[in-house]
Structure 1
Amino acid sequence: MKQLLLFFFFTLSLQAQFQINGIVKKSNSNQVLPFASITTDNGNYSITDVDGKFSINSGTPILYFTVSYIGYAKTKISIQKNTVFYNVQLKETTQNLNEIVINPENAALGIIKKTIALKDNNDPEKRLNSFEFKTYNKLIVSANPDSIAAAIDTIVVRRTKKGVYFKIDSTNYKFKSTVNKRHLFQTEKVSQYQFANNKLKETILGTKMAGLKQPLYEILTFNLQNFSIYDPKYELFETKYNSPIANNSLKDYNYKLLDTVTIDDRNTYMIYFKNKKKSKAKGLEGILYIDQENYAIAKTILRIRGLLDISSTHNFNYLPEENIWFPSDKNFQIIKGKNDDDIKILGGTIQFDGDVEQDLSTRKKQPSDYIYLLSESNNFDIKNNTNIQIPKPYYAVEIGKNAITKDESFWETYRKDSIDIRTKKTYSDLDSIAVRKKIANRVQLGKKIINGYLPIGFFDMDLRKIFSYNNYEGFRLGLGGVTNDRLSKDFRIEGYYAYGTKDGMFKGSLGAAAKVDKKANSWLGISYTDDVREIASTSFSIEKKPFKIYDPRPINISTFYNYLSWKAYYETKQIPKTESIWEIAHSEIDPKFNYVFLNKNNLYDYYTMTTAMVSLQWSPFSDFMLTPTGRIEIEKRFPKFTFQYTQSLGRLWNNDFDFSKFDFKTEYEKKYLSGQKTSLLLQAGYALGDVPLTHLYNTSPNNITKETIIQRITFSGKNSFETMFFNEFFSNKYAMFQFKHAFNRVTLLKKIKPSLVIVTRMAYGNLDNPEQHLGLNFKTLDKGFFESGIELNQIFNGLGLTTFFRYGPNQLPKLEDNIAIKLSYVLNLGF
């Protein structure tokens, strides 16, 4: 089973020695009653879900249970022999329980207001100076075998005059046989959480993942549910929603007082909340149990119903010494929802049931209908207000030493319950399958391909080097890559070789590097390169170029320069939340277009540069995890900052020019609860001294010089000026700003669901001493450049259409010359 499949198509069914199930409805209208209270004679307690259904499991026999709901008469139900499902009808007394719209007299509203006002006093992260505890977590992907029919079916394949042709379908039979023996996937984790100085850190003491000797570290930090219910944004399955007790929550939610319940011998209000929007997937829904004395959260149940039916429960223990409720355990579960959209992931398609107006009873159930995901976490060894020194607090998560090699005695110490036969079988079977089918190798293969590499033995081939096209080289065919861990974990050789069919020239690079610091992932390397590059382009060395099937912008570029470069570099992640490259390079530059640089009465059509450079990226708001193999960014937050400084080194190594370059970029991204997204980009550069045009700034133009709009149709870039012509403007100092806002996808037809994005870009700049640059006719950006447009991305199979308009001081006389129509393509891998 594919690893990423574990997050989809689930349904939950809990096993116990004694179990009763049922549904609670209004007797007069037969409508279901969500969140009714169910209490058994032996002390078990539950509530109905949003569909009015309930399930209670008990280790001892149940004689009767009572059902209560404010405004309805409490009902006692005796347990009947051989009856496991009960249809409970409650009679209304005095209160009409149709959904109540908030008004000043509403009792729940007053309780919620007090809860919000006092939440800083009840939030452990605000109230306590420090705390620490350990957590045991178990996550399984499984199915209830009793709910699966084991019959072997026949399916009509086709009908002909000769008869009807059938085939045997044993899918459910095989699936039931599997889940009878074991779960589909499981993982366990023991962590220590430490909080001090407003920082919370998780140290993973032990982890094991069925089928993988080395776990997927990304799954270990997959944020299924928030740690704290008091955060203004509650994160559920890596999607953020406005919290029901956020300062502005009253505008998003309706509240209703359902009941009063005793938890830890303290009386609590049971308050139901639901988002005001009609769409179920736009906000949370659930129950808050609020202490009647201090208005703290004693328990909460949250749910989202959409493509997936997701629920999250947080339980708390009352600590009388601090008069605070502290998290004791939480669980998270996913069952399959109902929607007419399919989810595509890594080439596979997950099919979902249609909407409720369809007759779902006629649809044959597939194994995916029965699968569920369940994650349970239990906290213990809780200590508050002690002197805690958090090691490496700049890491949100750290994998402890030997965490992935713990023996069985370690797990027996921390498991809440003893391991059962099904769990044991899961580990043994999946470990065996993983070895037989080389799952670990397949996982590593998938991760490398996503990053643009294909492993071949001890060599990772760079897929970006195989094929590309531009107007100078024509078709560029090549081969390149880097050695991997199979050769050495502490040494690498990298390089590429390419040939341009139009310029008829071979290019290439060869380099080697050695790891000098494992924890900081620091490498010291050297390289030699003979290649071509676009003139006046801005490149931040520290930025990792994402893998693309194609890179559309270079297709129409015809002005390049050749460079022979010898380089020594040091790359490191030593400084917290940063990564940097420090470099010394000597380059011989040969412009491959008509250009001469006039400097100090000398004409240069070929020149040398010896430079020192530092390129640094800083992500101060992101969260990082430290693993045995290096650092991983687990929570990308904005803004991010990139700095680069380049300095020529006097007359060292026959250097022709003295100059300095300062480059800066910052990115900001905001995702809204509605699913929309705003992106901002600010980029600037300043070059002073003797700088030839090849190393100035062109602000990334992407429009070709053709007579008509139709002739100028090409593919659009990501952050390029679509109406600016190539080589139209050059600057030695500039600043550009880009604004993008992406709306939700709009369904026009079943297969046509474009994503609408509005874009505005602007740039200012200037060029000192333009008379030094001979051979090209160009303008400067001293009056500014402005364009705005609309992108309709992913109209059909990833293809889209964009339109941009150029305006302002640099607007062209002909209207049609200010318009650019481009194609776009978005590759969706399901992430």
Structure 2
Amino acid sequence: MKYWVLGFLFFAFSNSFVFAQTKVSGHVYDSNKQSVPFANIVFVNSTIGTITDENGKFYMESDQNHSSIKVSFIGFETKTIKLSKRTTYNMEVVLEEEAASLDEVVIYKGKTSKKNNPAIDILRKIWDNRRENGVKKFKQYNYDKYEKLEFDLNTIDSALVNSRIFNGMEFIFEDIDTSRITGKTYLPIFLNEAISKVYGDNQLNELKEVLKGNKNAGFSDNQTLIAFVKDLYSDYDIYDNYLKFFDKSFTSPLSRTGINVYNYVLSDSAYIGNKWCYNIIYYPRRKNELTFKGDFWVNDTTWAIKEINLEVTKSANINWVKDLYIEQEFDVLNDSIFLITKDYFQSDFAFNKKEKSRGVYGKRTTLYNNYKFDQRKDKKFYQSQVDPYNQDIYNRDDSFWSNARMEDLNKDEQKVYKLLDTLRTVKAFKRLYNVGTILATGYVEFNGWDFGPLFSTVGYNTIEGFRLRAGGRTYFTANDRWRIEGYGAYGFRDNKFKYGISGKYLVDRKSRLIVSAGNRRDVEQLGASLTNTNDVEGRSLASSSIVATGDNSRLTSINLSAFSMQIEPRKNFTIGVTGSYRTLKPADDDLFSLDFFDPDTGEIKSEIKQAEIATSLAYYPGRKTTGYGVDRIVVNDGDYAQLFLNYSVGLDHILESDFEYQKLQFFYRQPWNIGGFGVLNSSLEVGKTFGEVPLGLLSVVPGNQTYLSIQNTFPLLNFYEFVTDTYAAVHIEHNFNGRIFSRIPLLRKLNLRELVGVRGVWGELSDENIALDASGFLQTVGAPDEEIYWEYSVGVGNIFKVFRIDFHFRGNYFDNPDARDFGVTGSFGFYF
């Protein structure tokens, strides 16, 4: 701030420039001292304005010098207020009701009619012409794109400055500034810049973005952080019916369904540039829905948007985000086509939505320039590279950035580079960074070795009793070409030591050819999933949960060795081949039996020895990953389709292997965003085993005897309640994201989210496989072949923002031994 004062004095006394800036904030009331939400505030003789929030408060600023503001709202007399100084905070504005509307309750509440409303007439013209504007009007297009991402600490006060957490880092507070959107003080802490060339083909429905340069402050070459931030602020089109932010679908004010959730008011008309435009104000009809408030200017001939502002209301059912503000600007090409030139996005992340709560601003500024059209590219041009990383892109010199930036960095942004370079040398910052890393990854970092994951240190099951586990992995950088992982565990009831060790190496970056090998000796719940592979690093959560319902003694001791190769010939499409050898035997012979008749001698054996070769195909359309080492991190976890096909062949008489068989498995998962109605998650699993195999090699329908919600399991099935050699399972779950609860007055403020689910499985078990079982166990359990076994559930999520509870109901097979007809599971998680 001291530089601002010095600059002002210099300009004032030099008479070379006139410094002009106006800031104003306040509270709008009616004559009864009640707050007036969504009132319109503008600087007189300008198009710069804002809208009061749900509490009637506002903040507004301009780089120009303004002498008065105008305050208006439906049903009230418009009020013009003179400003006596450039900065006027905490104004109190009282609006008087119009005489003609004193008795009209609907108007007083701000509701607007859907009929005979000129604003909605204009909205319909926008719908009719929205496909005729922007790059969609051309066959092909390309343009330059400059993107700037920034994070700032906000609400800086003396309590924060003097906090112990910043001991040794007080120097960072020497220069703070004020947000032009909220009026809060803030301190920049992270900055990333990116220059790209974007190519699109509307005929081929293809889009490709080529990164030309990337630069970030304090975290050089950190593609993971950059990728997560960019996914957080993914691109959007305001003309779409729904805009997706933070895994939530917000109804666009330009949506065809907008008239059901927004009020629209035709407020003004004026020239913007040389185009005559109408100004329309919009605000939500109801609280707690995923909607915006704001205004937009629309041209009167093309019905294209010239400027638009969107701000999420504080009552919106979204966690950890207190404010979200968007503004976009468009320019005219050839006197008729409007193309976006600027997109500004700001969010305020905070633990709660109280006015004075501290948080972190996340800002994204995107500028577009140098549009060119109808320059055709071959379809191969749009194919994504498996490994597009180029180190030079992340190490551009200053001259590149001076020429490439579409706007200069301001003084705060220039300061970030120097600030974070300095912070990295401060011990206090290093300690803070290490704590954050542990919470984010579950590992404690040492020099080249990570200890963890800490979250799996303690477990419990019937066989082992309490179980302690300690492990780690090699870790020099996020892009290591090789990695070794291992763990050791001890059960205090069975007094046995278990372990697992594996290693993998990235042979070729371009094709992502990876070889891996390992060995694991442990106790496992085989019936925890249907579609599985011989992964030496994996372990079933079902066999080590702290609390379980019913008996969980049917555990298996496994000794698994595997060698695999995997290649990615096209992005998100992988081919893998795995050779494995495993031995399976009961973890406790007195509690569970895997006895079978040897197919060659007829004698009874209790230990299965099996060699197997498996070939797998996996495809993840829409998956976003970061990193170019042997391990990559998925950026948009759960937000893309998954298809997996596995073909396994059991080899007999190799290393004393017992059985010859073939197994075919297919898995398909698909999330569906259904606009304002939430998200539907669906999955399908089918499989069949050809040949005769014993219990230990059959497909067990996955039950869940824990109180934790485990994906693709049946919460009311006990382990080994159904065993199959042929199966088909479907899981469907819909999250309404609070759409129903938001319309119930007593529940509205809790921001709860309703979920419903249904799941079913059908399966068969052949007489030949039953005959192989020497324990008689398969005579007492069966497969769901008479009718499809099914369950349904209802759930409530977002309890205290972190907890979800589900209530499950059994649909049939009530006569099964120890059948549970009702159950409850829960889970913790941080979700927007």
Please give the alpha-carbon distance, in whole angstroms, between the structure 2 residues aligned to 1:726 and 1:184: 53
Cα offset, 1:523, TM superposition: 1.9
1:737 and 1:761 in contact (8 A); partners too: yes
Of stretches 663-672 and 376-385 in structure 1, the one that deviates more from structure 2 is 663-672
Matches within 5 A, 1:600-749: 602-603=602-603, 605=605, 606-624=607-625, 632-635=633-636, 636-649=638-651, 651-670=653-672, 677-703=679-705, 717-742=710-735
Per-residue Cα deviation, 1:406-457 (whole angstroms, up to 9, x for no partner): 2322332234554454444332222211232386796587456544433343
Please give the alpha-carbon distance, in whole angstroms, between the structure 2 residues aligned to 1:88 and 1:750: 29
Cα offset, 1:228, TM superposition: 2.0
Please give the alpha-carbon distance, in whole angstroms, between the structure 1 residues aligned to 2:560 and 2:309: 61
SS in 1 for 2:700: coil
Please give the alpha-carbon distance, in whole angstroms, between the structure 2 residues aligned to 1:275 and 1:749: 18
Match of 2:8 in 1: none
1:271 lines up with 2:252 in the alignment: no
Please give the alpha-carbon distance, in whole angstroms, between the structure 2 residues aligned to 1:699 and 1:151: 54
Cα offset, 1:515, TM superposition: 1.5
SS in 2 for 1:727: coil
Cα offset, 1:293, TM superposition: 1.2
Residue 447 to residue 574, structure 1, CA distance change in 2 (3 Å): farther
1:641 and 1:665 in contact (8 A); partners too: yes
Match of 1:3 in 2: none
1:319 lines up with 2:336 in the alignment: no
Per-residue Cα deviation, 1:207-250 (whole angstroms, up to 9, x for no partner): 33332223322344143364421223213455321222233333
Match of 1:764 in 2: 762
Of the three residues 296, 318, 324, the one matched with 1:288 is 296
Match of 2:195 in 1: 191
Please give the alpha-carbon distance, in whole angstroms, between the structure 2 residues aligned to 1:187 and 1:235: 23
Residue 90 to residue 496, structure 1, CA distance change in 2 (3 Å): closer
SS in 2 for 1:402: helix
Residue 219 to residue 591, structure 1, CA distance change in 2 (3 Å): closer
Residue 194 to residue 36, structure 1, CA distance change in 2 (3 Å): same
Cα offset, 1:378, TM superposition: 2.0
Percent identical: 19
Residue 144 to residue 262, structure 1, CA distance change in 2 (3 Å): farther
1:139 lines up with 2:141 in the alignment: no
Please give the alpha-carbon distance, in whole angstroms, between the structure 1 residues aligned to 2:173 and 2:810: 62
Letter in 1 for 2:733: K
SS in 2 for 1:690: coil
SS in 2 for 1:255: strand
Letter in 2 for 1:34: A
SS in 2 for 1:774: coil
Please give the alpha-carbon distance, in whole angstroms, between the structure 1 residues aligned to 2:215 and 2:469: 41
Residue 37 to residue 182, structure 1, CA distance change in 2 (3 Å): closer
Letter in 2 for 1:333: Q
Cα offset, 1:486, TM superposition: 6.2
1:793 and 1:825 in contact (8 A); partners too: no
1:647 and 1:659 in contact (8 A); partners too: yes
Cα offset, 1:39, TM superposition: 5.0
Of the three residues 438, 447, 464, the one matched with 1:457 is 447
Of the three residues 401, 405, 426, the one matched with 1:411 is 401
Match of 2:120 in 1: 109
Please give the alpha-carbon distance, in whole angstroms, between the structure 2 residues aligned to 1:190 and 1:326: 21
Residue 21 to residue 479, structure 1, CA distance change in 2 (3 Å): closer
1:314 and 1:327 in contact (8 A); partners too: yes
Of the three residues 119, 127, 130, the one matched with 1:119 is 130
Please give the alpha-carbon distance, in whole angstroms, between the structure 2 residues aligned to 1:68 and 1:793: 39
Match of 2:239 in 1: 230
Residue 309 to residue 422, structure 1, CA distance change in 2 (3 Å): closer
1:754 and 1:794 in contact (8 A); partners too: yes
Match of 2:15 in 1: none
RMSD of the TM alignment (CA)? 4.7
Match of 2:420 in 1: 430
Of the three residues 201, 208, 226, the one matched with 1:217 is 226
Match of 1:361 in 2: none
Matches within 5 A, 1:272-671: 272-276=281-285, 278-279=286-287, 281-306=289-314, 308-320=322-334, 323-334=336-347, 350-353=351-354, 368=358, 372-388=361-377, 391=381, 393-394=383-384, 401-437=391-427, 446=436, 450-463=440-453, 466-485=457-476, 489-537=480-528, 538-541=530-533, 551=545, 556-592=551-587, 593-594=592-593, 595-597=595-597, 599=599, 602-603=602-603, 605=605, 606-624=607-625, 632-635=633-636, 636-649=638-651, 651-670=653-672
1:471 and 1:557 in contact (8 A); partners too: yes
Please give the alpha-carbon distance, in whole angstroms, between the structure 2 residues aligned to 1:16 and 1:126: 42
Q: Structure 2: give runs of 5+ residues left out of the alignment.
A: 1-17, 102-106, 178-184, 315-320
Residue 602 to residue 253, structure 1, CA distance change in 2 (3 Å): same
SS in 2 for 1:599: coil
Q: Structure 1: give runs of 5+ residues left out of the alignment.
A: 1-14, 156-166, 337-342, 344-349, 355-364, 704-712
Cα offset, 1:585, TM superposition: 1.4
Please give the alpha-carbon distance, in whole angstroms, between the structure 2 residues aligned to 1:793 and 1:136: 35
Residue 288 to residue 128, structure 1, CA distance change in 2 (3 Å): farther
State the TM-score, normalized to the length of structure 2: 0.78
Cα offset, 1:647, TM superposition: 1.4
2:75 and 2:97 in contact (8 A); partners too: yes
1:212 and 1:439 in contact (8 A); partners too: no
1:659 and 1:691 in contact (8 A); partners too: yes
Per-residue Cα deviation, 1:588-607 (whole angstroms, up to 9, x for no partner): 44455431135366345234
1:179 lines up with 2:179 in the alignment: no
Letter in 2 for 1:234: L
Cα offset, 1:308, TM superposition: 1.4
1:618 and 1:640 in contact (8 A); partners too: yes
1:139 and 1:188 in contact (8 A); partners too: yes
SS in 1 for 2:724: coil
Cα offset, 1:141, TM superposition: 1.8
Letter in 1 for 2:532: F
Residue 530 to residue 325, structure 1, CA distance change in 2 (3 Å): same
2:527 and 2:720 in contact (8 A); partners too: no
Letter in 2 for 1:700: P
SS in 2 for 1:721: coil
Of stretches 588-597 and 290-299 in structure 1, the one that deviates more from structure 2 is 588-597
Number of aligned residue pairs: give it: 759
Match of 1:206 in 2: 213
Please give the alpha-carbon distance, in whole angstroms, between the structure 2 residues aligned to 1:766 and 1:310: 53
Match of 2:781 in 1: 778
Letter in 1 for 2:290: K
1:395 and 1:624 in contact (8 A); partners too: no
Please give the alpha-carbon distance, in whole angstroms, between the structure 2 residues aligned to 1:24 and 1:499: 63
SS in 2 for 1:428: helix
Cα offset, 1:319, TM superposition: 0.5
Please give the alpha-carbon distance, in whole angstroms, between the structure 1 residues aligned to 2:522 and 2:78: 82
Please give the alpha-carbon distance, in whole angstroms, between the structure 2 residues aligned to 1:825 and 1:651: 46
1:317 and 1:327 in contact (8 A); partners too: yes
Per-residue Cα deviation, 1:634-660 (whole angstroms, up to 9, x for no partner): 345344223222112465554432211
Of stretches 312-321 and 672-681 in structure 1, the one that deviates more from structure 2 is 672-681
Residue 425 to residue 612, structure 1, CA distance change in 2 (3 Å): same
SS in 2 for 1:217: helix
